[in-house]
Amino acid sequence: MEEFETIPHEQWRNLCEGFSRTHRGWLICLWVVDTGNLEAGLTDATEKAIRDLELGEIIVERHGQRTDMVVIARDDQTHADHIIRGVVAVSVERDTDGRTNGLRIDSDDNKTALVRFRVPANSESLDGLAPGELP
């Protein structure tokens, strides 16, 4: 069972910067789902916008009262940017052992972006840099 920690709006930028720094190079998938269906436990009609690419960065962009986020991922041959416009809520998803599984980003168009690691792990248990992070 997953647990979600909702992050206050004023902490989104720091969260995303720290999350990007800690998990840069980790393989992620990003799904876009209807928020209502997600809340009801129905996730059949999902759209996988990013599939098994290395996390580069999650950027927070403020445009007046609106906040957008950009998830940047890549591998040796592919580069993918996914823009989430009108972000209204951000949560960190953790498993019952406290490992971070990813982020849930809700937008004002009733869509939810789920950024999830292919394999969740405690960052301190990893033994080196991802191939894309090598100098």
CATH number of 24's domain:
2.30.29
Query: Within a domain: residue 64?
Result: yes
Number of structural domains in the chain: 1
Is residue 130 one of the residues assigned to a domain? no
What whole-number distance in Å separates Cα of residue 17 and Cα of residue 15? 6
Q: Within 10 A of 77 (CB to CB), how many other CB atoms are there?
A: 6
Q: Is residue 25 part of a domain?
A: yes
| pLDDT of 63 strictly over 90 | yes
d(CA 135, CA 117): 23
Q: CB of 122 within 8 A of CB of 101?
A: no
pLDDT at 64 over 70: yes
- What's the CA gap between 104 and 106, in Å, rounded? 7
Both tokens of 134, joined, read 């090598």
Cα 118 to the chain's mean position, in Å? 12
Per-residue pLDDT at 129: 47
Structural domain harbouring 112: 3-118
Confidence class for position 74, pLDDT limits 50, 70, 90: very high
Rounded to two decimals, the pTM is: 0.83
Specify the pLDDT at position 49.
84
Predicted pLDDT of residue 127: 43
Instruction: Specify if 29 maps to a domain.
Output: yes
The pLDDT confidence band at residue 97, using thresholds 50, 70 and 90, is: confident
Q: Is the pLDDT score of 122 beyond 80?
A: no
The phi, psi pair for 29, rounded to 5°, reads -125, 150
> Which residues in the chain belong to E strands, given as ranges?
3-7, 27-34, 47-63, 66-74, 79-84, 87-94, 100-107, 111-117
Q: Is residue 128 situated within a structural domain?
A: no
- What value does the mean pLDDT of the chain take? 86
Residue 131 lies in a domain: no
- Model pLDDT, residue 43: 60
Residue 24 lies in a domain: yes
- Residue 76 resides in a domain: yes
